[in-house]
Amino acid sequence: MPYFITTAIAYVNGPPHLGHAYEEIATDVLARHMRQRGEDVFFLTGTDEHGEPVADSAHAQGLEPQAWADQNAARFKELMPTLNISQDFFIRTTDPEHIARVQEVMQRIYDNGYVYKGVYEGWYCPRCADFKTDTDVGEGNTCPIHGIPLTRESEENWFFKLSAFQQQIEQLYAEHPDFVMPARAMNEAQAFLGGGLQDVSLSRSKLKWGVTVPWDQSQVFYVWFDALLNYYTALSYARPGQDLADHYGPAQLHVIGKDILKFHTIFWPAMLMAAGIAPPEHVFVHGFLMGEDGRKMSKSLGNGLDPFEVIEQFGTDALRYYLLREVQFGQDGNVGIKGCTVRYESELANEYGNLASRTIAMIDRYRDGVVPAVATDPALADDFSTLPQDVAALFDRADSTQALELIWQRVRRLNRYAEERQPWQLAKDPDSADQLNQVLASLYEGVRVVSVLLAPYIPASVEKLLAALGAPDSTYAAASFSAAGPLTSGVTVSTLPPLFPKMASDRT
Ligand code: MSP
């Protein structure tokens, strides 16, 4: 089945930060899981390059917006292999194909009668590139998100008849109670809708850095109308000569942060309806990462977690694992280098890495590296029997954190099993050879299964480990624990250097 999944596209008014890395990683985990299950995944990400915030920050650097956008978009693109993101396409909203397609769709919305001319006046935040409703204005007319003073703006521009979609969106929500996930985010979207939809201005006359309105060359589209359409336009040119829109569109899942909920849960379906295009299936709203002290990360407080520092010290898989494990996906969470170090050492290095190396080392030492061809321990097999289905059910709700918890419970179970059965003792007694075979086969099978299920989270480590186990299949079908004994019985394992080596400071 086609499975189209997207991240928000990031503003290029600066280099990428941890919040961006988090969204990429979390979405990548979902995309990789769906690929494991054999879904025909198309994973889209990219950069949002027009609008006030980018133009303003470019001018502050003494650069033209395009030059500044080019510089920063390149940094976002470079981030993808660094984080091991498996996107199928990276869109830039300055791509000429995107621009042409935005004009085409917006013209359709205009022709369908959902656009009119009006005068807009309101409190405007240049960083949000958004007018604030009266209830949204912070103390002293400041932006509640950025804390900067809002400006009073008034201009004649084009309006989108958002109010015309009140009933259709109410119906969409009623028919699809999980259109927005998790439930708390759905409540927020409902509350916004309950307040009554008001028309919104869709163009700007002052700003020059944007997509020109085709029916009025003196204006450019308000950046959100250009940006949201990336989810539609990208499919038309991601593969030259092919239009993938009929195959993949509309999206199964848009992953976004909580600050842009309104745009994705209200504006976006309304725009699609106005253009005669079907709305997406789900929008998943994740929380914000904060410093370990619970405060917003900032350079001056020194409470930030620098993704590059983590990668340099612990590796990409450790960053991916830590963020998904530490922060319940869909909620805010506090992260920092201390917590990351603890989880790296206690969970990745000790619980998982050691388990894998011990298992391989024991098969090597006691059985010349050959995986014993015997049935696994029924007690252990029972504990794994519903694991793949349970993990998949959680992923169907995008609950990658609880899925990871379930997998990790089995990692711990395997460690307890090794302690209980003490294969190193069994190895001393030739009469216990059968028991030892069973324990080794069971540990092998358990390590293999948890690794297959961990592949979306820590893909590079799992690939190495499964290769060393002589069982490279990482599809979802390979995630069942075989009671009859490892399907790869008889293969020879190869030893492997520690996947998550202890830090240098520990060795002293
Ligand atoms: N350009 C818009 C999105 C347009 S989508 C059609 C935008 N860009 S952004 O660069 O400000 O944010 C990109 C994504 O990163 C958003 O989903 C946002 O919520 C997320 N995050 C930004 N800071 C974050 C944290 N500190 N923590 C987690 N995610 C955060 O909004």
Q: Is the pLDDT of residue 67 over 60?
A: yes
The whole-model pTM stands at 0.95
Q: Determine whether the shortest distance from the Cβ of 48 to ligand 1 is under 6 A.
A: yes
Please name the helix (run of DSSP H) or strand (run of DSSP E) that holds residue 504, with its range, or none: helix 504-507
Helix (H) or strand (E) holding 122: strand 115-125
In whole angstroms, give the CA distance from residue 10 to residue 460. 26
Q: To the nearest whole percent, how much of the chain has pLDDT over 70? A: 98
Residue type, position 378, single letter: P
- Are the CB atoms for 191 and 169 separated by under 8 Å? no
Q: Is 282 a catalytic residue?
A: no
Query: Is residue 375 predicted with pLDDT exceeding 50?
Result: yes
Residue 356 has pLDDT above 80, yes or no: yes
Write out pLDDT tens, residues 269-284. Answer: 999 999 999 999 999 9
- Separation of alpha carbons 384 and 482, rounded Å: 9
Tell me: the pLDDT tens digits for 155-210? Answer: 899 999 999 999 999 999 999 999 999 999 999 999 999 999 999 999 988 778 99
Q: Which amino acid is at 27?
A: T
Q: What does the pLDDT read at residue 309?
A: 87
Clarify whether 254 is annotated catalytic. no
pLDDT band at 117 (very low <50, low <70, confident <90, very high): very high
In this structure, what are the phi and psi dihedrals at residue 92, rounded to the nearest 5 degrees? -120, 130
pLDDT at residue number 299: 66
3-state secondary structure of 294: coil
Is 340 in the active site?
no
pLDDT score of 508 more than 50: no
* Residue 506 banded pLDDT, cuts 50, 70, 90: very low
362 touches ligand 1 (CB under 6 Å): no
**Overall average pLDDT of the 396-412 stretch:** 98
pLDDT at residue 57, as a whole number: 87
- State residue 139's pLDDT score: 87
- Bond prior to 177 in cis (omega within 30° of 0): no
Mean pLDDT of 43-65: 92
- Least confidently predicted of 144-153, 241-250, 295-304, 433-442: 295-304
The reported pLDDT for the residue numbered 180 is 98
Q: Is 261 in the pocket of ligand 1 (CB under 6 A)?
A: no
380-392 per-position pLDDT tens digit: 999 999 999 999 9
CA nearest 495: which of 400, 357, 373?
357
Strand partners, 183: none
**pLDDT digit string (tens) for 447-473?**
999 999 999 999 999 999 999 999 999
At 427, which amino acid appears? A
For residue 504, what pLDDT band results from cuts at 50, 70 and 90?
A: low
Mean pLDDT for the chain overall: 95
Instruction: Determine the distance separating the centroid of ligand 1 and the alpha carbon of 7, expressed in angstroms.
Output: 9
* Predicted local distance difference test score (pLDDT) of residue 505: 53
pLDDT band at 507 (very low <50, low <70, confident <90, very high): very low
Residue 227 has pLDDT above 80, yes or no: yes
pLDDT of 396 strictly over 90: yes
The residue whose C-alpha atom lies closest to atom 6 belonging to ligand 1 is 228
**Closest residue CA from atom 26 of ligand 1:** 19
Dig out the tokens for 142 from the structure: 């400041």
- Residue 7 host element (H or E): strand 2-7
Three-state DSSP class for residue 210: coil
Residue nearest to atom 5 of ligand 1 (CA): 8
Residue 80 has pLDDT above 50, yes or no: yes
Which entry of 33, 50, 132, 143 is annotated as an active-site residue?
143
Q: Is 10 in the pocket of ligand 1 (CB under 6 A)?
A: yes
Q: Give me the mean pLDDT over the 242-249 stretch.
A: 96
Q: Would you say 262 and 162 are in contact if contact means Cβ atoms under 8 Å apart? A: no
What would the mean pLDDT of 22-32 be, rounded to a whole number? Answer: 98
Whole-angstrom distance, CA of residue 171 vs CA of residue 137: 30
CA distances from 385 to 32, 305, 381, 471 (A): 22, 38, 6, 19
Question: CA-CA distance, 145 to 102, in Å (whole number)?
Answer: 28
- 321 touches 407 (CB < 8 A): no
